[in-house]
Amino acid sequence: MADPEQTLDYLEQQIPSLSAAAVDVAYWQALASGQAVLVSGDGGIYQAFADGTKKLIKTTEKPLSVPVGTRVRLP
C-alpha cells in the first residue's frame, strides 16, 4: 500500500492540470450555450462570442515583470 503522504503529494500535483481542464470545459460550455465570455490577450480584454468574433472591451497595459520577493504598490 502506498504511503499516505506520497498519495497526497501525487494528488496535489494533479490540481493545476485538473483546474486548467475545468476552466477550458467551462469556457466551451458557455460559448456552446450562446453566452459570451471574457478573455485577456493581445493587450486587452475581449468579449468572445460563439461565432468566433471578439469585441475589445478594454485595453490593458503591458504586464509588469518583477523579481520574486519585490514589493510593488499598486495605485
User: Is the whole-model pTM more than 0.85?
Assistant: no
**Model pLDDT, residue 1:** 55
Task: pLDDT tens for the chain, 75 residues: list them.
Answer: 578 899 999 999 999 999 999 999 999 999 999 999 999 998 999 999 999 999 999 999 888 788 999 988 877
At residue 72, the pLDDT reads: 80
Best CA proximity match to 27, nearest among 46, 44, 50: 50
Quote helix, strand, coil % in the chain, to nearest 5: 40, 20, 40
Q: What are phi and psi of 35, to 5 degrees?
A: -90, 160
The letter for the amino acid at 39 is: V
Residue ranges covered by each domain of the chain: 4-59
